[in-house]
Each structure stands twice: as C-alpha cells, then as structure tokens.
Amino acid sequence: MYSESFSAAIFGIDGCVVHIETDISEGLPGLVLVGYLSSEVKEARERVRIALKNSGYRFPPKKITINLSPADVRKDGTSFDLSIAVAILAAFGYIDKEILKQILFIGELGLDGNIKSVNGVLPRVYTAYENGFKYCIVPFDNVCEAGIIDDVGIIGVKNIKEMVEILNSEDIAGYISDTKHKMPFKVEDDEHDLSDIRGQEGAKRAVEVAVSGMHNIALIGAPGTGKTMLAQCIPGIMPKLTFSERMEISKVYSVAGLLNKENPVVQKRPFRSPHHTVTQTALAGGGRYPKPGEVSLASGGVLFLDELPEFQRQVLEVMRQPLEDGYVNVSRLEGSYRYPAKFQLTAALNPCKCGYYPDRKKCTCSQGQIKNYLGRISKPLLDRIDIFTETIILKYGEISNSDKGENSYDVRKRIEKVHHIQKERYKNDGILFNSELSAGMIKRYCVMDNEAKEYLENIFENMEFSARAYHKVLKTARTIADMDESGEIKRKHISEAVCYRTADKKYWGVTM
C-alpha cells in the first residue's frame, strides 16, 4: 500500500515543497522515517504513532516506511507531523488518496491528537501558492497568519479527527476559514512625532535627507540632546510599506516566531534597537539552528544602534557585508541560508566618554581617552555611513517653547515624492535609492553643473577626501537635488552634502 502527502521546509525565509511518501508492507512491524532528518523530525515517529492511537485509529501490525523527499535537503522542525500522519491514514484507507494531491499540510501533533501551532507558516503557505496547491491545512491558531496569502484556501483544524472529517467530506471548499481579517489590518499611529522634538532643526533636516535617499546616518552629540528621539521618529517619516515589503518582512518575523494571532502580518516599518551587549550571532543571525538576526528583523526599516562605541568592535564588523549587499548569508554544513538585510542604519553616539567634547568647560577627557573611545569604531564601518550630523545642547527658551514644529506626516509626504523620483529613475537598473548607486551609476546619474564641479574640486583638495567619501558626497547631493526636484546637482546641493561629512572629519580626522 502506497500513499503520499505534501508539506514544506524553510531555508532562510524561502520555502521548499517536501513530498511525504508512505509505503505499507509485510515485515517486522515498525515505523521508519528517512530523508535527511533532524532530531525533531525523527521524533515525529513517536508523536504521530501515539497521536493516531489516542485519536481512535488502529492499524494492523505492518512495516511502515516514510520518505521525506527530496532526500538530499535537510528537514528541521515539527511542522511535518501532520503531513506524516495524513500519509499513514491514507495508506490504511482512512482518507481518499486523490484529494491529498492538491493540499499542503502544516502542523505539529500533540500526543492527544490535537494539532499545535508552528513558526514559519507564512513562507510555507506562500510556497504552496507558488507551486499551485489549492488548499493548505494548518493549525487553527495559525489561520490568521496563513490567511495573508491570496488564492490559497486556508483550512484551520484543531485535531486529527476534525481533519479526517474534512478530508472525507464531499465539499472540502466549504470548510475554508473566513479570511476577511486579511488586510488591511488596523495600524496604530506612530508614538513618536517630529513635532514633539524642540529645536535641532539641522539634525531634523539631516534625518529627512537620510530617509529620502535611504542613507545611513550617525547622530553625534552630548547626552540628552534628542538623538534617540530623532531616531525613534524615523519609521514614522518613511513611506508606508508596500504589499511586497509587508510579505518579505512578515516572512522574516514568521520564521523568527514573532507573529501571532493579533499581529499576523507586519504593517509598520520595523525599528530594532539591540542593546550594546548583543552578540555577533544575535545581530547578524545564525546559530546552530539558523534564525534571522537583528539586521534581518530591521529589514525594510531602521536598525538603531545607541551608544555606538559601546558595542564590541567585532560585533559591529559583521554589519559591513549586509550594509553593502542588503542580505546576510549564513552557511552551515547542511546548507546555506540567506536572510534579507535592507535596513537603514541609524547610529547615535557621544563624542567622548563623558559626552561633552569639544566643550572643554565640561569635557574632562584627555586626547588619548577621546581617541580610544572613538577608535572603537573602525574606519571601514564609518565609510559606510553617508551622513554625520550633530545635535546641540538647547537653551531653556528652546526647550520650554510651546510652538510645535513640522509633524512627521508632512515630512513623510515630501519623502514619498522623492522616493517616487528615484524609483522611476532606477526602474531599469535594479536599485531603488540613491544610496545604492554604484561607481558607474554615479557618473551617469550624478550630473553637476559647472559651478558645482569647481566647488567640489576645491573642497576635495582642501579636505583631502578619499574616493569613497567623494562618492558618498555625490550620492547625498543627488538626494538633496531630488528633494529640490532638480535634474542637475547644483553648488548648494554639494555644499549641504559636504557639511554632512564635516562632523566625520571633525571627530575622527583629529583624533584617529
């Protein structure tokens, strides 16, 4: 007797259909699982056997062999339990075998026959959609998450008996779960608004420029000057997530186990702020059983590193490749996993240990202490930050002023226009934003008028910019020109872009 069913495995945030083949034959009674399995999948032998027994299903003593194909792909997790149980039931005639060809099964079994929720349902259901499956049977608690994907009938089940009843019914489509909750979900208003920040107009402008071109930014200033508040406002001025962005981010969160019934899909730009004691694995992802790290959980949003010099240097260095490529590769013996990492890096730091350099009336640090403190951040990492801006200590009148500045909504509307300009310009180049421009693209798209060329030449010679800094200035200037809806980069655009490199030269140029 032979039967088959289907499930899905996850590699990174992408799924792969797994074909479960079951054969019942004469021989020494037992249940054998094969197909490059992890220990959790091997343990399914006992979970499935006892769950079927406690659900009232009895089988003659036979040799049961189950193969999870493709056999050269490692299978992890407990989500294969349900498909294995279904294949056994079909082989013994409890379920019609033909109906199983159009259904993908996901779920873990309890010993009492109940079906438990699992992580990573969203990418598995998306795999079912991509491979033409008509239905997905999932744990009842995962219905909200699975229902995000259109064109696949989602059926939530609580136990084995209920599932068998559905599979043997004349109209399985009648059991499709109500997915009116799909989208749009209610999105809460952002807690942080730019209008709540007093003063710091220069820093606000720098933040707007950074978000407009998706440039990495560093905020430098004394303690209590609003660096963290500015960073927390950034997701609120970013354009709303598109459907494809929601799907990619939600798949990452699904694999990480961060989605639930109340929040089955990510609707807001992520804002991740790991503590400075974070490890390399927690930041970049990986581990014995690979999981996405903070750089991937921040994809599509903001990765905020507060007190940047306090992070271990080797931890910060793991960001260099994701900042360049937009993804993280985690290689293990059983395979390679790729996680997205298209985030905007926002860093905040004090200029010295006490926080008040270069104000020598308050700063008590020696030049050596300042050099050691700022030297914790490597030059290659600094080179990957396009914009440096300072926050200043406010006077009493500026803090107590009740007049509110421009709100995040108005700033976001301007940024949306700039993003649209860039997407139209680069629609045939495979990039979306000015920050992604390669050296060849810079020559093509960063066209300056004569005055701007002369000005930049003088600045380049006087400030001794590196080639990388030169390109950073041009990319930032391209963004500022787009904000002015100017096709050509003018002198004022170059001038502002250069200003965002002076803090870099001011602190690291002197002390390193």
> In terms of residue numbers, what domain contains 148?
2-175
Whether residue 112 sits in one domain with residue 13:
yes
- Calculate the CA 255 to chain-centre distance: 11
What does the block give as tokens for 270?
């992520």
Encoded amino acid at 369, one letter: Q
In this prediction, residue 190 carries a pLDDT of: 62
Helix (H, G, I), strand (E, B) or coil at 363: coil
Whether residue 367 sits in one domain with residue 437:
yes
In this prediction, residue 244 carries a pLDDT of: 87
- Calculate the CA 480 to chain-centre distance: 27
DSSP assignment of 301-327: SEEEEESGGGS-HHHHHTTHHHHHHSE
In this prediction, residue 358 carries a pLDDT of: 82
Whether residue 291 sits in one domain with residue 321:
yes
Name which of 242, 227, 137 is nearest 183 in CA terms.
Answer: 242
> Is 506 part of any domain?
yes
Model confidence over 5-57: pLDDT tens digits? Answer: 999 999 888 889 999 999 999 988 889 999 999 999 999 999 999 999 999 99
DSSP assignment of 406-424: --HHHHHHHHHHHHHHHHH
| CB-count burial class (<10 Å; 0-12, 13-18, 19+) for 289 | exposed
> Is 13 part of any domain?
yes
CB proximity list for 410: less than 8 A, separation 6 or greater: none
- Whether 126 and 45 have beta carbons less than 8 Å apart is answered as no
Total-model pTM: 0.86
CB proximity list for 17: less than 8 A, separation 6 or greater: 6, 7, 8, 104, 127, 128, 131
Whether residue 404 sits in one domain with residue 312:
yes
In this prediction, residue 288 carries a pLDDT of: 79
In this prediction, residue 512 carries a pLDDT of: 35
d(CA 47, CA 45): 6
In this prediction, residue 422 carries a pLDDT of: 96
- Whether 212 and 419 have beta carbons less than 8 Å apart is answered as yes
Whether residue 361 sits in one domain with residue 250:
yes
d(CA 383, CA 69): 46
In this prediction, residue 312 carries a pLDDT of: 94
> Is 329 part of any domain?
yes
Report, as ranges of residue numbers, the positions in the chain whose pLDDT lies below 70.
179-190, 333-334, 398, 402, 509-512
Whether residue 207 sits in one domain with residue 275:
yes
Whether residue 148 sits in one domain with residue 240:
no
Number of domains the chain contains: 2
d(CA 251, CA 264): 10
CB proximity list for 211: less than 8 A, separation 6 or greater: 234, 237, 238, 344, 415
Whether residue 263 sits in one domain with residue 164:
no
Whether residue 356 sits in one domain with residue 495:
yes
Whichever domain contains 268, its CATH number is 3.40.50.300
> Is 342 part of any domain?
yes
Name which of 493, 499, 471, 472 is nearest 481 in CA terms.
Answer: 493
> Is 373 part of any domain?
yes
Whichever domain contains 57, its CATH number is 3.30.230.10
Other Cβ atoms within 10 Å of 256 Cβ, number = 18
